[in-house]
Amino acid sequence: MYQVTDKCLLCRYPYACIYNCPAEAIFNNGNHAEIDQDKCIHCGKCVGICNLCAIIDTDAPEEVVVPHDLVERDCDILILGGGAAGLIAALRASEQCTGKILVLEKAKKPGGCGIYSSALRMFDTQWEKDHGNPEQMDDYIRSAFNTTRGLLNPQLIANGFRAIPRFFDWFCQWGDAEKGFKYDDEHPLQGMRVTSILPDNAGHYIMGKVIQQLRQKGVEILTETAATEFIMEKGRVAGVRASDPGGNLTIHCKTCLVAMGNIGNNQQILDRYVPEYGAAYKRPTMHLLPTCTGDFIPMAEKAGIPIDEASIVPAYLGPMNTMFNMQTMMQPARPDVLNVNMEGKRWKSESFRGEACNWLLLKQPQAVTWAILDTPLACNPPKSAPPVLFDNSFGRMISNGVPDQNGNPKSAANVMNLGPAGGLPAQPGATSEGIIAGIEAAIAVKGKYVVKGDTIEELAANMGVPYENLKATIDRYNELCKKGHDDDFFKQSDLMIPIETGPFYAFHCHMGTDGVFGGFYIDENMRVIGTDGPIPGLYAAGDNTGGRYVNQGGEKKQIINDFSWAVGSGMLAGENMATYWNQLVNE
């Protein structure tokens, strides 16, 4: 019998088990996927699809762990972390040197967060040049430098940006790029012309091809193997101590890359560096894998390698609809509903939404908000709110400030119309019966993600908020609705609709994140900076580095999105490690 464990993160992608079960036996139970045993045909397809190994066959023989004595291994290039940055670095290095490369990956399968990443930001690729597009690399570098207030190393920005089209052009040589990507005149959000063919599929496609190439080249990947300690000799990293299910290993190396991902699943580290997020309600997401525990921080501290503590910062995405556990559900609150916090109190204008309200949401208890509707409001199409202004904080609009093909400057910010509904009923054209049936189905899902009350008192009890506060809040809101003016938060009058007719519904929403980032100081060649300058032979790439964003009062203002940085920094690290090893051999 196949069962889904609590490792499941409810992947939303086209390759997830829910979308690929031939018997349609897998469904979202609110906490993770679940298999309807009456429908299951025991084909095992879901086991092969799940990269987290969250689905098990309870009838299969139990895995036997064979204890072993201390294992001693030697390699030339050691990669800690089998996500996007680590695997791309390993593959690139394998093409530029003949040294033995070894990858350690903590999970049962390689790929890391890269498997779940949706977009690779690309510009100045050969595809674009072949279509006659002008070279604009310097424009992108200038835009990134301006976005981060000139606080970053411009050479690191330049090297990171240049590595991305270099990666894609290289990928085109062996990765069947035309099957996964297409050329667009201009991507509407990112301002790029090379995009993935399938939505949300760039990371899965690229990582699948990279892993395939590594296996063809014979690069060894040790899964379920976690690095635990650096071995230092004369100021350099000479290897690591590690563990696997059977025991301990000592691995010696000439050069080492740390690409161990983000630190979002280590509560102790969150409480230490980002206590406001540490105290927030959290659900695992595709970018907060169980392996994202920041093991490199205690390793570095024990070895005397400095950590850039000021760089450690979450990438906030909020609020998110808790039931669906998706980054795409970032706008759960209609502008014409009522928002209250866990104290039952209204805390903002409901048309103030998206990333703009992250900092205010963080100040609410548990960083949680409820969207409240009565039955008529739930059954009527939502009213629209003004578009939301975004800046370049998350590296989404990397083309901001970059001239278009006619030389005209683009805006330094982008306005997005997030749509009126954003994940809550009702969508235009839906029937009242269908809407209520959908809400009732959501209420039946495990967990208090959507709750109902025939009265405000019952609703408050199901929400877990003080009834007196919630009643006072709704009474005050209804009073302002009838007055026609929001004296408290100044929401537009046409969006002020009273909450009067039961049953009443509340949707639980919380602060989301793409992870908690930062770690090593690095230079423009991805070398880790120690107390006396670059540490010989030690490199870092991907999420466990700063350098491509600034932490401005807890806001992560970055030059590019996380997956693109993993690709570019991994490419750079692989090339520079190969060069370093070749120099050692030739000395």
Mean pLDDT of the chain: 89
Position 332 scores a pLDDT of 53
Say how far apart CA 58 and CA 3 lie, in whole Å.
Answer: 7
Q: What is the mean pLDDT of residues 493-509?
A: 95
pLDDT at 261 over 70: yes
pLDDT at 578 over 70: yes
CA contacts within 13 A on the Cβ side of 268: 5
Q: Is 538 left (phi over 0), alpha (psi -120 to 50) or beta?
A: beta
Residue 493's φ and ψ, nearest 5 degrees, are -60, -35
- What is the three-state SS of 4-16? ECCCCCCCCCCCC
Collapse the DSSP code of 92 into the 3-class scheme (helix H, G, I; strand E, B; otherwise coil) and give the result: helix
Position 446 scores a pLDDT of 77
Say how far apart CA 35 and CA 527 lie, in whole Å.
Answer: 46
- Higher model confidence: residue 384 or residue 236? 236
Position 68 scores a pLDDT of 98
Position 327 scores a pLDDT of 39
Q: What is the mean pLDDT of residues 270-290?
A: 88
Position 63 scores a pLDDT of 87
> Do 400 and 148 contact (CB within 8 A), yes or no?
no
Position 187 scores a pLDDT of 64
Closest by CA to 191, choosing from 404, 355, 354, 387, is 404
CA contacts within 13 A on the Cβ side of 285: 27
> Do 517 and 311 contact (CB within 8 A), yes or no?
yes
Task: Name the H helices within 98-150.
Answer: 126-130, 137-147
User: What DSSP character marks residue 299?
Assistant: H
Say how far apart CA 548 and CA 550 lie, in whole Å.
Answer: 7
Position 30 scores a pLDDT of 75
pLDDT at 328 over 50: no
**Per-residue pLDDT reduced to its tens digit, 366-378:** 999 999 999 999 8
Pairing of strands 55-57, 2-4: antiparallel
Task: Name the H helices within 175-295.
Answer: 177-180, 202-217, 267-273, 275-278
Task: Name the H helices within 98-229.
Answer: 126-130, 137-147, 154-174, 177-180, 202-217
Say how far apart CA 470 and CA 340 lie, in whole Å.
Answer: 8
Among 29-38, 121-130, 290-299, 435-444, name the most confident range: 290-299
- Higher model confidence: residue 480 or residue 442? 480
424 burial via Cβ count (<10 Å: 0-12, 13-18, 19+): buried
Q: Quick one: tokens of 345?
A: 């109190």
Percent residues over pLDDT 90 in the chain: 66
- Higher model confidence: residue 4 or residue 587? 4
Position 529 scores a pLDDT of 98
Helices H / strands E in the chain, number of each: 17, 25
Q: Is 326 left (phi over 0), alpha (psi -120 to 50) or beta?
A: beta
Say how far apart CA 8 and CA 16 lie, in whole Å.
Answer: 11
**What are 507's strand-pairing partners?**
371, 450
Q: What is the mean pLDDT of residues 323-341?
A: 67
Secondary element (H or E) of residue 433: helix 432-444
Closest by CA to 331, choosing from 285, 388, 377, is 388
Closest by CA to 395, choosing from 160, 126, 172, is 160
Position 584 scores a pLDDT of 95
Position 469 scores a pLDDT of 98
Percent residues over pLDDT 70 in the chain: 90
- Flag the least confident range among 255-269, 419-433, 529-543: 419-433
Q: What is the mean pLDDT of residues 169-181?
A: 96
Q: What is the mean pLDDT of residues 550-566?
A: 91
Which one-letter amino acid corresponds to residue 454? D
Cis-peptide, bond into residue 503, ω within 30° of zero: yes
- Flag the least confident range among 229-238, 308-317, 378-387: 378-387
- Flag the least confident range among 144-148, 251-255, 268-272, 310-314: 144-148
Closest by CA to 106, choosing from 251, 224, 200, 267, is 224
Position 282 scores a pLDDT of 86
Position 511 scores a pLDDT of 87
Position 373 scores a pLDDT of 92
pLDDT at 450 over 70: yes
pLDDT at 354 over 80: no
Residue 48: CB atoms within 10 A of its CB come to 11
> Do 559 and 147 contact (CB within 8 A), yes or no?
yes
Position 504 scores a pLDDT of 98
Collapse the DSSP code of 367 into the 3-class scheme (helix H, G, I; strand E, B; otherwise coil) and give the result: helix
Pairing of strands 101-104, 77-80: parallel
pLDDT at 260 over 60: yes
Q: What is the mean pLDDT of residues 377-402?
A: 71
Say how far apart CA 177 and CA 334 lie, in whole Å.
Answer: 39
Among 46-55, 133-142, 373-382, 467-476, name the most confident range: 467-476
Say how far apart CA 439 and CA 449 lie, in whole Å.
Answer: 11
- Higher model confidence: residue 197 or residue 108? 108
87 burial via Cβ count (<10 Å: 0-12, 13-18, 19+): buried
pLDDT at 259 over 90: yes
Question: Could you tell me how far CA 272 lies from the centroid of its own chain?
Answer: 21
Position 38 scores a pLDDT of 96
- Higher model confidence: residue 329 or residue 171? 171
> Do 104 and 227 contact (CB within 8 A), yes or no?
yes
Angle at 437 between CA 434 and CA 443, to 5 degrees: 145
Position 422 scores a pLDDT of 44
pLDDT at 457 over 90: yes
Q: What is the mean pLDDT of residues 11-32?
A: 85
> Do 519 and 544 contact (CB within 8 A), yes or no?
yes
Closest by CA to 269, choosing from 330, 314, 222, 315, is 314
Position 331 scores a pLDDT of 47
Angle at 86 between CA 82 and CA 87, to 5 degrees: 75
- Flag the least confident range among 25-29, 125-129, 137-141, 372-376: 25-29
**Per-residue pLDDT reduced to its tens digit, 63-91:** 899 999 999 999 999 999 999 999 999 99
pLDDT-based confidence at residue 133 (cuts at 50, 70, 90) = confident
- Flag the least confident range among 260-264, 431-435, 467-471: 431-435
Collapse the DSSP code of 85 into the 3-class scheme (helix H, G, I; strand E, B; otherwise coil) and give the result: helix
Q: What is the mean pLDDT of residues 386-403?
A: 67
Closest by CA to 515, choosing from 487, 553, 548, 556, is 556
pLDDT-based confidence at residue 200 (cuts at 50, 70, 90) = low
Residue 32: CB atoms within 10 A of its CB come to 18
Say how far apart CA 394 and CA 314 lie, in whole Å.
Answer: 11
Radius of gyration for the chain, computed over Cα atoms and rounded to the nearest angstrom: 25
- What is the three-state SS of 248-261? EEEEECCEEEECCC
Q: What is the mean pLDDT of residues 512-516?
A: 86
